[in-house]
Amino acid sequence: MGSSVLEAKNISVFEDYDALVKGMVELFVNLADESIKVRGKFIISLSGGSTPKGFYSRLAEAEVASRVDWSKVVVFFGDERTVPYTSPDSNQRMITELLLSKVPLSRENVFAIQDPDMDPKDAAIGYERSMREFFKLSGDELPQFDFMLLGLGDDGHTASLFPGSPALTEAVRWFVDNKVEKLNTVRLTTTYPVINNSRHIVFLAEGQSKASVLKDVLTGPEGKYPSQNVKAENGKLYWYLDKEIASQLEGV
């Protein structure tokens, strides 16, 4: 994949979804190993949607799970819909069913978003409070996740940072309720200050349907898509893609 534009971006393209999942697993295991060796823990924020399901499932398989010291892994959720945990649309439910319920995490190391469907404002305030209690920072210091997993929407959104939504300009709070007009709903999401402070930010995206938006995000004018505002200000940004979604990057 030529061009200085793309070479400057840390892009990995895999033959198909299965290979992409395997690549993601290797990255996760290696980053977990390094983080736990250096800092004694691996603090992660996980994304929802459908793309990461295969990754979560594979990570939970015994021969892979055994390669991670789950007792040292701390789990947060990058964003959530304002639905009850029992809803099929719940990110927390999906991630818990596919991964968290199958690996030996310490219960106190999984931070759930309480009652996202009750009062989104309260849920966001409550989650930021739990983040602050965990990270124990002073003043306006920002938390630093070791691993921030993100997806890419077909409109260029990421987490629950949607085009034109108020959270795009949030520069102080860590986690907010965010009105998404086009979906006629409120979402809960980690904000850019926290996302961009992560050590390793990984976009996991696949599929022909997003090839055009991905090309625009990576090579088009800045500021058009929320995912373009994700910058590794204190770490590294990765794009983990399958061949289909990367199909329009050839020769760029």
* Nearest 10 degrees: Cα torsion 142, 144, 147, 149: 0
User: Closer CB to ligand 6PG, residue 72 or residue 156?
Assistant: 156
Write down the least CB distance from residue 9 to ligand 6PG, Å. Answer: 19
Name which of 41, 108, 32 is nearest 64 in CA terms.
32
Residues that bind ligand 6PG (CB under 6 A): 47-51, 79, 91, 151-153, 157-160
Contacts for 20 with CB less than 8 Å, ≥ 6 apart: 14, 204, 206, 240, 241, 242
Rama region for 73: left / alpha / beta (φ>0; ψ in -120 to 50; rest) = beta
Residue among 160 and 197 whose Cβ is closer to ligand 6PG: 160
Cα dihedral 51, 55, 87, 79, rounded to 10, equals -70
Q: How far apart are the first and last CA of the chain?
A: 8
C-beta closer to ligand 6PG: residue 32 or 46? 46
Minimum distance of ligand 6PG from residue 152's CB (angstroms): 6
* Residue 78 CB, nearest approach to ligand 6PG (Å): 6
CB of 69 to ligand 6PG, least distance (A): 26
What DSSP assignment string belongs to 206-224? --GGGHHHHHHHHHS-TTS
Query: CB-wise, 146 or 206, nearer to ligand 6PG?
Result: 206
Least distance between ligand 6PG and beta carbon 92 (Å):
10
Which one, 72 or 203, has the nearer CB to ligand 6PG? 203
Q: Cα(89)–Cα(79) distance, rounded to whole angstroms?
A: 12
Q: Name the DSSP class of 14.
A: E
